Chain A
Amino acid sequence: MTTETAPKTIRWWHFTLIFVMILMFAMFAAGLGRDTKIIPSPLIGKPAYEFSIRKLSTTDEKINLTDYKGKIVVMNFWASWCVSCREEHEVLLEASKKYGADGKVQFIGINHKDNDRAAEDFLKRMGQFPYPSGVDPQGRLALEFGVYGMPETFFINEKGVIAAKQIGPLTAKSFEAKMKAVEAMQ
């Protein structure tokens, strides 16, 4: 009696067990390579917040995002205390030389939770950006853009819509890829 009924129930859970195992292991395998630090931003495809902030090393000069409408804006959050910002500094200098020349692409730096003195020292040491930086001493603008770590870079298209975002230091390669994403959006 026992041996007659047993195979039926056993077959039922055999399949469940194998199915669950395959599903789980496939998921782990798929999940292995990815970078858990990257959180995709829901702001991509949305209009960028139109901020107006004080320009670095000035007392009351402003940087307004609206001034750059019609241009692609590359907005880079950086800080003098941020280690990875040193890594991407060279990339930014190169890229701004290459893309900023024809006036179609405007670069903006956002100096995050820093003081002017330290920021100026940093630029002196690492090389001046050929574009203006605004200051965000409390990091409020960063929250507005859903920033959670340094550095992060936003790519805003001519219509003022956020087209792409780089989390962590830029490389020449990732910069090209993001610029392509901006162009693809049109």
Chain B
Amino acid sequence: MSFGRTDNAKGVQALLMSFALIMAAPFFAQQAHAQEKTVAQETVAQKAAAPGAKPAVLKTESELEKRVRAIGSKLRCPVCQGESIYDSHSDVAEEMKRLIAEKLKAGESEAKILDYFHDRYGNYILMEPPAEGIHWVIWVFPLFMGLMGLVFVMQFLLSNRQEAATEAKQQKKRAENPQTLHQDIEELHL
């Protein structure tokens, strides 16, 4: 039996290790990246410092670009019709992104920019319908569906449960009193 136990311990070990791996995996990526980025920058710096090498300029994404992404991801490209304008490479989408950037530079708020496009292209330009007017339907529907389904399944299970309980009671009665068996059969014939 000791043999078995060792193997079992091995199994638990394997379990814990796999568990750790699974848990760690998503941030592994993040952590590794956060630490190593400084290393990369050093490498870059070394390379830049090497004699004869042109100094490399590390460009980081501007705050502006981040805000353009935030807005552009909420707007749907009107010609590609499935993608957001941020993801799309089409001419109209590119021009819209440039316009968003200009408007942001001019100090306009995100809401105001979204309104600008909404006024000109209608609800179609938004990636999801606004929760107003008739469009409440699409937002409430999933919740409604879920509740309906739950109620239906619960009702199904509970009604069966009652039936099962009465059946069990009858069976018990039958077992106690063989005469009722006869009665049951008569009932069935009716």
Contacts and interface: CB of A to CB of B under 8 A. Distances in A.
Q: Do chains A and B touch in the complex (CB under 8 A)?
A: yes
Contacts of A138: 95, 98
B78 to A, nearest CB: 4
Interface in B80-125: 91-92, 95-96, 98-99, 119-122, 124
Interface residues of A, number: 17
B53 to A, nearest CB: 39
Contacts, number: 43
B122 A139 contact: no
A42 B95 contact: no
A42 B120 contact: yes
A143 B99 contact: yes
B187 to A, nearest CB: 11
B81 to A, nearest CB: 8
B7 interface: no
Interface size class of B (residues with CB under 8 A): 10 to 19
Interface string A22-53: 00000000000000000111110000000000
Contact of A139 (B91, B119, B120): B91
Contacts of B122: 39-42, 146
A30 B122 CA distance: 22
B79 interface: yes
A39 B95 contact: no
Nearest to A139: B95
Given A113-B91, A148-B78, A149-B92, 14 more contacts: A1-B167, A39-B78, A39-B121, A39-B122, A41-B120, A42-B122, A139-B91, A139-B95, A143-B96, A144-B120, A146-B122, A148-B79, A148-B92, A149-B78
